[in-house]
Amino acid sequence: MKRLSGRAIRRGSSERKYLERSQPISVHQVHIIAAETEAHRNGRSAKNMKIEKLETFVAVNWMMVRITTDNGIQGVGESTFFGWPGASKDVVLSFEPYLIGQDPLRTEHHWNYMYRAKSMRGGAIGGGISAIDQALWDIKGKYFEAPVWQLLGGKARDAVRAMLVLPTGTLEEVANAAAAAKADGFTAVKCLLYQHDHAPMRHSERIQDLVDRMAAVRDAVGWDMDVGVEIHRNMIPGEAIVLAQEIEKFRPYFFEDPVAPDSILSFGEVSEKTRIPMAAGERNLTIWEFREYVESAGIHHVRPDIGVAGGFTHCKKICAIAESHHQGIIPHAVPSGPVATAAHVQLGACVPNYEVQEHLYEEKPPYSDVVKEIIKLDHGWLQIPEVPGIGVELDEEGIAKHPYEYGPIAHALRDDGSVALR
């Protein structure tokens, strides 16, 4: 390695400690000195930077966080525990006494401190920690004047492939939506075979309806488009196997969550009986849960959600676990708000096994109101921001237009009035 004398470095406030040394320094240390010097010039000294303020915002059902440092840098994040955003908000506020006064750049330390603070965990905890973690990485990117993807390893791709989640509706409506998506440039769609308003108990009728929907979508888009299948955990293993075997001929991109994720054994039972690649993970929160699914459930596509599965700090590790088993990443990114969408794009930019990202046609309010500028979608491809941080900023006036209100809990019932699986 080439060595440079300490005296060869131009003197400055951040170099004095090196100039006082008698031994030579490496070229790598020269780059560190340069970065520290630039940070001092811009008033961004990491040595003294502390978290000064933590704020929460809820619009629609998106719980967002904004963290401000004492030198004015702000970072934002979002929890995707969208069923109960107030619960994740309370989690965030519970960590406020710990976070105030802390160095925001210690993301790994803060993640572990928050995660291990209490023994009881779950989706609300994961959502709160994830939102905070995203905000801290946003601050880190702005401090180092780099996009988050740059800090996480640099670009692995030039744009992130988007997969349009088709709306529910009649068979004809869903098929038309798929054809329109293809015309707009999308190369992948996801079909929600279950419509969620009612779950008939007649096995043969139900299977036939789902097969007909898959056939209609495939006919509408042809064979040069990927069609994923989402079951939303509405089946037991036996009927999931029957459905999977009947739709194999339509060559689905994946078969997602046919059964509840609570049992790895049941998921593996379905996987063993079908040639369709299996997808799961949107309800899982940690590397330990994902490790079990990756190794024992027979899945092929891993679906972490950056808004509940630990933010950037943890999701990067989940992606690495999947990569080590030759499995792809198809994150759970719908119905995320614009902040979580931006965070997912940052992750997708730098993760080599990131396959495709769920998306909706959300370019109008309320989606476009809550941030100053949304991530751009260009003919089925999400554009990767080049600006420092995650690429979006909150719009408080827009957020105020869309307050969240708890409403009735809707759920499908079966013919006998019992609650359908989900």
User: Under CATH, domain 51-149 is a member of which superfamily?
Assistant: Enolase-like, N-terminal domain (3.30.390.10)
Residues 252/256/258/260 CA torsion (nearest 10 deg) = 170
> What is the SS3 assignment for 186?
coil
Check if the beta carbon of residue 66 is closer than 8 Å to that of residue 76. Answer: yes
Q: Vertex 262, ends 260 and 264: CA angle to 5°? A: 95
Closest by CA to 312, choosing from 105, 84, 144, 32, is 105
For the chain, give the longest Cα–Cα distance. Answer: 84
359 assigned to active site: no
Which pLDDT score is estimated for 36?
Answer: 53
**Regions of the chain with pLDDT less than 70:** 1-47, 195-198
Q: Vertex 382, ends 161 and 61: CA angle to 5°? A: 110
Taking the C-alpha atoms of residue 305 and residue 280, their distance in angstroms, rounded to an integer, is 11
Alpha helices in 226-367 (DSSP H): 237-247, 264-272, 287-296, 311-324, 338-350
232 assigned to active site: yes
Domain map (residue ranges) of the chain:
3-41, 51-149, 155-393
Which pLDDT score is estimated for 261?
Answer: 79
Residue 330's beta-bridge partner residues? Answer: none
Which pLDDT score is estimated for 205?
Answer: 86
Q: Specify the pTM.
A: 0.87
Helix axis angle, 311-324 to 287-296, nearest 10°: 20
According to DSSP, residue 419 is labeled B
Which pLDDT score is estimated for 154?
Answer: 97
Annotated catalytic residue, options 110, 301, 314, 332: 332
Token digits for 41? 């010039």
Which pLDDT score is estimated for 22?
Answer: 45
Alpha helices in 145-297 (DSSP H): 148-151, 171-183, 203-221, 237-247, 264-272, 287-296
Q: What is the H or E stretch that residue 398 is in?
A: helix 396-400
Tell me which amino acid residue 209 is.
D
Q: Does domain 155-393 have CATH number 3.20.20.120?
A: yes
Closest by CA to 330, choosing from 138, 155, 195, 160, is 160
**Cα–chain-centroid distance for residue 224?**
27
